[in-house]
């Protein structure tokens, strides 16, 4: 096993001016499960492929353990990769697919069989070893691809969106299997996904990328509770955080009729570039449904109710004066409120909400950075 270090690693594709990955500095500990997450085109798969040796590194270095592998051939890096498409040989049995890399490296047949059977037992594939891939379900094929990586006994596992071809229920089931398997094997794992729910539930730590730049690294709880900027705040969490830019008066952010108190040190960090405004974010569960007579309550006109059994979320428009159009959640211009699933309003109703004390996140209106 080994740690992984990106030291100012940069990748610029020919014919482009902006790097796909720009000066990436990231330390992944021995045995850690790190998830690279971000929107499409942010550089997460490129970062993984640089570590695998499938993309050239135009600047900086990459280390596996103490060894500089920046210019080392992929086959000599002692890594195993699991792809989005399973990449299985259709004419080979499951056992032959899993043991193929060992076979071409000259490993004795008895040892190959032993390693394949051990991996099959871990992955619950023992009864399928003689089948061809076409006789397997999508989830079973992905487990075969995992088995092929496991029998290699590499220093690092690299996984590039391995669950995106599976249906929703199987994806949930397989992600728990992968996470528990990684903890059992203790192999350093770098996992790429665009699904932030996967990132929050699987990773020891999460690294968020945007436009080739690293935005924040931390545990799932740190990313959720203390996002470092507006982008991370809006990206991590499902449903998305409600975010808006508001005027500051007398040390308070004026969210419609509600005044959100700002700490003195937050106000002192405001600059001329902020123009007397701050960006305030609050999660759907940070809103309390209150009576219409409550002072400072915000009016939300209900457009849609998402009932999930144990949870319910209202999507609506904020009708308080001076707020409409300024508040949004993710890519939507609606506000989202988590409500009691046993007391659900109807479409077209108006509910009144207040922000729970201490539950607002405050960012610079000019830079988007946390204050």
For the chain, the structural domain boundaries read 4-233, 242-364
pLDDT at position 166 is: 79
Mean pLDDT over all residues of the chain? 89
Residue 59 in tokens? 């600047």
The winner for highest mean pLDDT among 30-39, 251-260, 356-365 is 30-39
Arch. (CATH architecture) of 4-233: 3-Layer(aba) Sandwich (3.40)
Model confidence pTM above 0.85: yes
The CB density around residue 3, as the number of other CB atoms within 10 Å, is: 17
Arch. (CATH architecture) of 242-364: Beta Barrel (2.40)
Bond before 287 cis per omega within 30 degrees: no
Q: Is residue 248's pLDDT more than 60?
A: yes
φ/ψ (deg, to 5) at 354 = -130, 155
Q: Model confidence at 251, in pLDDT bands (50, 70, 90)? A: confident
Domain 4-233 identical in fold to domain 242-364: no
How much is the CA Rg of the chain, to the nearest whole Å? Answer: 24
């Amino acid at each position: 096993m080994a740690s992984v270090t990106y030291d100012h690693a940069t990748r610029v594709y020919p014919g482009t001016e902006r790097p796909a990955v720009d000066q990436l500095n990231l330390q992944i500990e021995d045995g850690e499960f790190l998830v690279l997450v971000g929107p499409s085109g942010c550089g997460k798969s490129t970062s993984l492929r640089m570590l695998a040796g499938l993309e050239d590194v135009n600047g900086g270095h990459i280390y596996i353990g103490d060894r500089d592998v920046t210019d080392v051939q992929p086959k000599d890096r002692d890594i195993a990769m699991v792809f989005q498409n399973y990449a299985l040989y259709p004419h080979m049995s499951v056992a032959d697919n899993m043991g193929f890399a060992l076979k071409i490296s000259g490993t004795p047949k008895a040892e190959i069989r032993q390693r394949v059977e051990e991996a099959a037992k871990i992955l619950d594939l023992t009864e399928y070893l003689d089948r061809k891939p076409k006789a397997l379900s999508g989830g079973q094929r992905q487990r075969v691809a995992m088995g092929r990586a496991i029998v290699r006994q590499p220093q690092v596992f690299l996984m590039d969106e391995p669950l995106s071809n599976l249906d929703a229920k199987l994806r949930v089931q397989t992600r728990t299997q992968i996470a528990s398997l990684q903890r059992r094997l203790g192999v350093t794992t770098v996992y790429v996904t665009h699904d932030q729910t996967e990132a929050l539930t699987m990773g020891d730590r999460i690294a968020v990328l945007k436009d080739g730049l690293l935005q924040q690294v931390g545990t799932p709880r740190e990313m959720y509770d203390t996002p470092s900027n507006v982008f991370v705040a809006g990206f991590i969490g499902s449903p998305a955080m409600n975010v808006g830019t508001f005027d500051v008066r007398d040390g308070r952010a004026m969210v419609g009729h509600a005044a959100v108190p700002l700490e003195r040190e937050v106000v002192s960090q405001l600059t001329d570039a902020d123009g007397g405004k701050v960006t305030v974010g609050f999660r759907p569960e940070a809103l309390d449904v209150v009576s219409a007579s409550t002072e400072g309550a915000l009016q939300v006109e209900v457009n849609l109710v998402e009932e999930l059994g144990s949870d319910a979320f209202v999507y609506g428009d904020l009708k308080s004066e001076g707020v409409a159009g300024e508040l949004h959640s993710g890519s939507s211009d609606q506000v989202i409120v988590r409500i009691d699933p046993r007391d659900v309003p109807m479409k077209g109703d108006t509910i009144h909400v207040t922000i729970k004390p201490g539950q607002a996140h405050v960012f610079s209106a000019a830079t988007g950075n946390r204050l």
